[in-house]
């Protein structure tokens, strides 16, 4: 049976501010519904993604800004960084990890610039939304077998 990741819920403090931020990044607004009991659900989808994010009022009990490790995948990390910066995101410089396998949490073992060999899965940028939910953008130019 296939199981596909459809939605990730992210906790935010100000729904309209977050909606504006993600729309400013070029994410598609899929839904903005409010129920009679005050529940508000906003769903946006990054360009090219089949997985969306949802946030709103009454959607999550997690502390706003507590999501970390959210990953986006792009084919050109430098172009993605430039686009995010143009869209208003406070995006990091391009980096790779000193260990060369995956990135460490936070900024530990970050080395400036893309992976020297430009290996797939090895170059990154990071940014946060207005609440501090942490995103990592990873360059994938060739998928591992079976992926």
pLDDT at 147 over 70: no
| Whether pLDDT at 11 is above 70 | yes
Give the pLDDT band (50/70/90) at residue 103.
confident
Q: In the β-sheet with 52-57, what is the strand arrangement from edge to edge?
A: 7-9, 52-57, 40-45, 28-34
**Span 22-77, pLDDT tens digits:** 999 999 999 999 999 999 999 999 999 999 999 999 999 999 999 999 999 999 99
Q: What is the mean pLDDT of residues 133-145?
A: 89
- 22 against 103, higher pLDDT: 22
Q: Does residue 115 or residue 144 have the better pLDDT?
A: 115
Confidence of residue 101 (pLDDT cuts 50, 70, 90): confident
Element housing 18 (H / E): helix 15-24
Pairing of strands 28-34, 52-57: unpaired
Asked if the model's pLDDT at residue 143 lies above 80, the reply is no
Query: How buried is residue 30: exposed, middle or buried, by Cβ count under 10 Å (0-12/13-18/19+)?
Result: middle
């Amino acid at each position: 049976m296939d199981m596909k990741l459809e939605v990730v819920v992210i906790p935010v403090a100000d729904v309209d501010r977050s909606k504006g931020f993600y729309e400013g990044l070029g994410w598609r607004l899929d839904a903005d519904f409010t129920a009679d009991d005050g529940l508000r659900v906003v769903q946006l989808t990054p360009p090219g993604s089949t997985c969306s994010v949802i946030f709103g009022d009454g959607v999550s009990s997690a502390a706003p800004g507590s999501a970390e490790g959210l990953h986006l995948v792009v084919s050109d990390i430098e172009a993605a960084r430039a686009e995010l910066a143009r869209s208003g995101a406070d995006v990091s410089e391009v980096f790779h990890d000193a260990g060369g396998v995956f990135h460490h949490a936070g900024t530990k073992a970050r080395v400036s610039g893309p992976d020297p060999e430009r290996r797939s899965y090895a170059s990154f940028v990071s940014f946060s939304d207005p609440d501090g939910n942490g995103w990592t953008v990873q360059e994938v130019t060739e998928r591992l077998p079976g992926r």
